[in-house]
Structure formats: structure tokens, C-alpha cells
Amino acid sequence: MLKVGLTGGIGAGKSEVSRLLVERGAVLIDADRIAREVVEPGTPGLAAVVDAFGRSVLTPQGTLDRPRLGSIVFSDADELARLNAIVHPLVGARSAELEATAGPGSVVVHDVPLLTENGLAPLYDLVVVVDTSPGTQLDRLIRTRGMSEEDARARMAAQATRDERRAIADVVIDNDVPLERLTEQVDALWADLVRRAGAPA
């Protein structure tokens, strides 16, 4: 099994790269999806978040009000750290469970937005960083996700810098390019990952 850490700044296009890798046969473990699962109604994770931040972070239906929680944590590093201390251990445990179900010779891609920030690079055999210019990130967040410029900049500022991400990368995928060129890069990456997964440790 080859364990790959996939990361990139918000709006870099990491989801597109993970989709292309899954099409080629990768087993995807999506940290964002798991992070949503571990705070669903009735979970210990949601109870811990409410204990830490109060019932104002719940919708009337009892689910987590993500925009409300985001407005608290993305403008305050201490509050973000408090949230991460609750959610990240739960995500790590669930990710390990899912990884254990992948067969030998599998390429397991861990899609982890905060891989750099949390010093997780040593957990993986290879780290792939999807890279774009800050201008491209900002444009995508405003245009495709409907964020205000202020909110988009705050989200970007709460993450590692472009240089910090590139510093931990074994492979950098340039996503300031048309989809055709991105696909070519992913094809080359996949060939390398399959080779590595099949090679003796």
C-alpha cells in the first residue's frame, strides 16, 4: 500500500485532482468529508463542539451551523485551534479505520486540506501539493463558492502559505492551467504512484 497525502490551499482545485486520481483507481480518504461525519447530530464530536462553542453554533434542526462556526474560528487563531483539537483526533481515527480496509498494492490518497498546518507530512509515503497563485484562489472562491472577498481572504490567511506548502511537497501539481494540462499532470503522477505501490518497500 502506498499512502499519499494530497493537499493544497482553499480554492486550489484539490478536489478536481482527487477526482481524477479516483477515476484512475486510487482509494480516496477525504478528511473534509470525514470531518463532517464526525460532527453529525448524535455524535460525541458534535457534543464536544457545542460544549466548547455553545448552542449558537447549531441550526434550529440541531445540525452544525457551519457558516456560524466558521465566522467564529476563521477570525481567531485560538478558537480555530480549539476546534481543531476536537475534530482532528476524530478524523485521524476514522481515516485509519478506512485505510485499514484498502488492499495491499493500493494507492491510498488522503485528501487533507490542513496537512501542512498540522505537520502531517511524515505520515505519508509521498506528499502531493496542488498549487495555484493566490490570485487564482481568490477568484475561484468568489466566483465559484460565492464568498465575499473579505471572507475568502480570511480563509486563505488562516491556512499555510504557498511557500510553506511547497516546502513539504514531493510532487507539485500546477493548477493554474487548463483542465487538459492538469489531466496530463495527473496521468504522469498516477503512473509514478502505481510504480511506487508495486515496488518492494
Q: pLDDT by residue (tens digit) across 30-79?
A: 988 999 999 999 999 999 999 999 999 999 999 999 999 998 998 888 99
**Per-residue pLDDT reduced to its tens digit, 155-171:** 899 899 999 999 999 99
* Of 43, 28, 3, the residue nearest 196 (C-alpha): 3
Q: Retrieve residue 64's grid coordinates.
A: 452544525
Q: What is the CATH number of the domain that holds 128?
A: 3.40.50.300
**Average pLDDT in the 87-107 region?**
90
pTM of the model: 0.82
| 187 in a structural domain | yes
Residue 201 lies in a domain: no
Range of the domain at 23: 2-196
Number of domains in the chain: 1
Residue 72 lies in a domain: yes
Q: What is the pLDDT of residues 24-37, one digit of tens each?
A: 999 999 988 999 99
* Phi, psi of 108, deg, nearest 5: -100, 115
